[in-house]
Chains A and B, each alone.
Chain A
């Protein structure tokens, strides 16, 4: 069988793109700022999975992809790779977050209190038209809410299991490490992982391929300051504020090598408001680093290879979608192998 190079389809591709844009043309009448507000959780998800914090471009990407969030994340990730990196910002401590929502299911009475923030958790999930229940806000206190993690007292009391700290912080966008994976690399992979994949893998451990049943120690949504160094004065300068979600789960007590018994915990953190992702990340962090949550031969959510290589939405989508591109030669080769095998088997029968 000879290999025949083919070309063509340019006109079809051009028309296909025009057809696609015409099919979602109403998006040209929608301001990106409307998307930023009305679809904020979609925008946040795209920024987190695209690994680029830009509400403006994430909104445009959602419009450009007709609301396909994976596709929108792809646009954002691609844009990220086209920008030069100015440097590394100052470290964000989620305990310094200006809180908009903060809950703990582990403790009822926590320092700072339980704050529901903007949430529809307690809404009946029926699509009904309703009038906005206007509240008179100015009856309430106007003070800022900065509060330490609800698990901090347990950490201070040395009750929580700790893990070794990486000597250097890995950056998977420059070098993707091999096993054994540094913790910072695993956390970075998860921070930009696809929310649905992470939820699915975390759910395997809850459902039976593991035995995790964590308690939310501290879940918080709010804004954190981004700081850098002013290149002319060399002093610290505030660049802006970003919305973030952070979650710490408490799992179970585990006997340590030194004979002590410590509480296992997991940490999840991502750009934007996306608590399902942050909770899933904290569960995966727990299952990966604490074998006490593994049943028998091991499950799925406790396997570094499984998690590190399968939760990136852009990569998995790219690999999955590449199958729809021309594979004529590959498939013709498969058919030829099948025909040859059949003939070989027939010849064998004759002999």
Chain B
């Protein structure tokens, strides 16, 4: 697992587990919020096959946070950009991102992310089964 995986995976984590992890981290190091969770937008380009060009399909609401974590005179910055209006989620993930980058609580973060990834994959497989159940099988009519 790499640092960049966390931003998406942890958005799907059990919120209470993520909050508990954040509280544990908060109690052991100094967290300075450089940019409080703020709603921003991302402009989304879409590829269109007729001209092989792109156009902007709209904007996506995100909540962005930047933090600085300090432990034993060493500082690490953390960042998160989560979908939609989610202040706490953005803050918690930014803290995890900074920790992961600074090798602090890396094991705990990875454990939560790995478990979450399993849950994501399980939910995806269940969804895929529903989608695959609607696949059309054509039978040719006799004599046609």
Set of chain A residues within 8 Å of B28, measured between Cβ atoms: none
**Residue on A nearest B85 in the bound complex, by CB:** A56
The residues of B that contact A266 with a CB separation of less than 8 Å are 50
Q: Return chain A residues, CB-CB under 8 Å to B45.
A: 88-92, 169
Q: Is the CB of A54 within 8 A of B129?
A: no
* A228 & B54 in contact (Cβ 8 Å cutoff): no
The interface residues of chain B lying within 8 Å CB-to-CB of A55 are 84
A52 touches B46 (CB 8 A): no
Q: How far is the CA of A54 from the CA of B66 in the complex (A)?
A: 21
A141 to chain B, nearest CB (A): 5
Residues of B within 8 Å of A89, CB to CB, are 42-45, 60
Name the residue on A nearest B4 (C-beta): A237
A226 within 8 A of B: yes
A140 at the interface (CB under 8 A from B): yes
Residues on B with C-beta less than 8 A from A183 are 51, 53, 55
Name which of A186-194, A319-327, A342-350 contacts chain B: A186-194
Binding site of A, secondary structure by majority: helix, strand, loop or mixed? mixed
Which residue of chain A lies nearest to B11 when distances are taken between CB atoms in the complex?
A240
Digitize A233-247: 1 where CB-to-B-CB distance is under 8 Å, 0 elsewhere: 101111110101000
Counting chain B CB atoms within 10 Å of each CB, the highest count among A84, A89, A172, A231 belongs to A89
A187 touches B48 (CB 8 A): yes
Which residues of the other chain, A, contact B124 by a CB distance below 8 angstroms?
144
Whether B131 lies near A115 (C-beta < 8 A) is yes
Q: Are B49 and A149 in contact (CB under 8 A)?
A: yes
Q: Does chain A have a CB within 8 A of B8?
A: yes
Given contacts A99-B131, A239-B81, contact A85 B59 (CB under 8 A): yes
Question: Complex formed: what's the CA distance from A183 to B85 in Å?
Answer: 32
Q: Are A237 and B7 in contact (CB under 8 A)?
A: yes
Residue pair A53, B48 in contact (C-beta under 8 Å): no
Give, as a whole number of angstroms, the nearest-CB distance from B92 to chain A: 16
Tell whether A116 pairs with B64 under 8 Å between CB atoms, given A89-B42, A169-B54, A236-B4.
Answer: no
Interface size class of A (residues with CB under 8 A): 35 or more
| Interface check B52, CB cutoff 8 A | yes
**A138 adjacent to chain B (CB < 8 Å):** yes
In contact, B128 and A232 (Cβ under 8 angstroms)? no
Q: Considering the complex, give the chain A residue whose CB is closest to the CB of B137.
A: A113
Is A261's beta carbon under 8 Å from chain B? no
Q: Which of A92, A113, A119, A233 contacts B44 (CB 8 A)?
A: A92
Any chain B CB within 8 A of the CB of A171?
yes
The 8 A CB mask of A161-175 against B (1 = contact, 0 = none) is 111111001111100
CA distance A54 to B44 in the complex (A): 13
A280-311 contact mask (Cβ, 8 Å, vs B): 1 or 0: 00000100010000000000000000000000
Using Cβ atoms and an 8 Å threshold, which residues of chain B touch A54? 60-61, 84-85
Within 8 A of A (CB), among B13-35: none
> Would A83 and B58 count as touching, CB distance under 8 A?
no
Confirm or deny: A199 has a beta carbon within 8 angstroms of a beta carbon on chain B: no
On whether the beta carbons of B126 and A137 are closer than 8 Å, the reply is: yes
Q: Which residues of B contact A242 (CB under 8 A)?
A: 44, 60
For B50, B83, B84, B101, the residue with the greatest tally of chain A CB atoms inside 10 Å of its CB is: B50
Name A86's contact: one of B41, B57, B132 (CB within 8 Å): B41
List of B residues within 8 angstroms of A143 by Cβ: 128, 132
B88 on interface, CB distance cutoff 8 Å: no
The residue from A100, A139, A228 contacting B42, defined by CB atoms under 8 A apart = A228
Tell whether, in the assembled complex, residue A141 and residue B51 are in contact, meaning their CB atoms are under 8 Å apart.
no
Does B47 belong to the interface (CB within 8 Å)?
A: yes
The docked-state distance in angstroms from the alpha carbon of A264 to that of B54 is 19
B133 touches A140 (CB 8 A): yes
Check if A80 is an interface residue, CB within 8 A of chain B.
yes
- Report A21 CB to chain B, min CB distance, Å: 22
- Report chain A residues within 8 Å CB of B134: 101, 115-119
CB of B109 within 8 A of chain A? no
A184 within 8 A of B: yes
CA distance A319 to B55 in the complex (A): 27
Report the Cα distance A243→B119, complex, angstroms: 20
Can you list 9 pairs linking A and B with CB atoms under 8 Å apart? A92-B47, A93-B47, A118-B134, A173-B59, A184-B55, A187-B46, A230-B7, A240-B82, A271-B58
User: What 10 A-B pairs have minimum CB-CB distances, sorted nearest first?
Assistant: A240-B83, A187-B55, A54-B61, A142-B125, A165-B53, A86-B40, A116-B134, A238-B8, A184-B55, A114-B136
Query: What 11 additional pairs, Cβ within 8 angstroms, besides A53-B58, A118-B134, A163-B50?
Result: A52-B61, A92-B46, A116-B135, A116-B136, A164-B51, A169-B55, A170-B56, A187-B48, A232-B79, A237-B4, A285-B50
